[in-house]
Structure 1
């Protein structure tokens, strides 16, 4: 490649950088003013974005100058800033359902074992554990019974005379009408 072939691209790059600098000047000169008018999450996004832009420009400059940019500390900073992006995304879309639940039976066992010296508390906790077990068993039995009911309804017997009526009343599936 000739040097004369690269000259127009370099001039275009210089023009693009000047345009970029002009466009970003109002934002970068008064980042504090701009961010003070924003909500907290948007302010965090702005600061992370500005930081990422600066770090990526330094990374690109190192790569253009032939330095090993991946072993440079700038690369670790870029990774750190990306982690901030991920944290902000997690804040924007929190999990819909709670993942952890409290096992009250286990808690009662822990407390009962810790307070084994006090017989009154130990007896009350033993009763509580028995009630929780009974409640869980009743809930499981109810759920099993409800699952079983619809299956029983679908397997109920149909009298032969009723079956004939049901079949005769059904329309044909192919959409054609019965010929008389």
Structure 2
């Protein structure tokens, strides 16, 4: 390899290193000063990232020098730092809190069992349950939306107009079934 061919690549590497030093200047200074200005979670991220970058550089240097880096103490340290990453990630994205729900049927069974000997309270409980069931039935009835009769007949007419839709066939089958079941009942 000729030295004249390497010179432009070395110049390019030198400019890249200068840019990298300029970008890392805040981090290469006193890390404690930078961390002191950050909130607690960001401070933890900064320290973990700095540690991880140093450890990964050491790991890469070991791999380049053909040392068994996976059995080296640096690899154990990298796995420990990764665990800190996971802990920070857990803190950043907390699990959704479980909504507490009451199993109404189970609560009713408990109350009935406990209050079975007290007739007055048991009667009030039964009345309250009846009111709630009536209220639920009324709400269900109000929530039900039925199509008007003209819409139903229009839908039937449309389905009858489609080819292959014979609406008389199911009625014939049903009438045959009823005749057959009636004849079985007589014998």
Residue 169 of structure 2: aligned partner: none
Deviation at 1:35, TM superposition (A): 0.7
- Show CA shifts across 1:8-38 (max 9, x none): 6995797355664564344233101111011
Residue 177 of structure 1: aligned partner: none
Give RMSD over aligned pairs.
5.1
Deviation at 1:42, TM superposition (A): 1.2
TM-score when normalising by structure 1: 0.52
Q: Which runs of 5+ in 1 are unaligned?
A: 113-118, 168-180
Question: For this pair of structures, how many residues does the alignment match?
Answer: 146
Residue 73 of structure 1: aligned partner: 73
Give the direction of change, closer, same or farther, for the CA distance of 1:68–1:38 in structure 2 (3 Å limit).
same
Deviation at 1:103, TM superposition (A): 5.0
Residue 150 of structure 2: aligned partner: 158
Deviation at 1:3, TM superposition (A): 9.7
Residue 60 of structure 1: aligned partner: 60
**CA–CA distance in 2 between the matches of 1:93 and 1:14?**
40
**CA–CA distance in 1 between the matches of 2:84 and 2:131?**
45
Give 1 or 2 for the bigger CA radius of gyration.
2
Deviation at 1:145, TM superposition (A): 5.8
Residue 87 of structure 1: aligned partner: 87
- Show CA shifts across 1:72-129 (max 9, x none): 222222222223223323333334x422526577x98xxx9xxxxxx99xx8xx97x9
TM-score when normalising by structure 2: 0.50
**CA–CA distance in 2 between the matches of 1:67 and 1:45?**
30
Q: Which runs of 5+ in 2 are unaligned?
A: 159-187
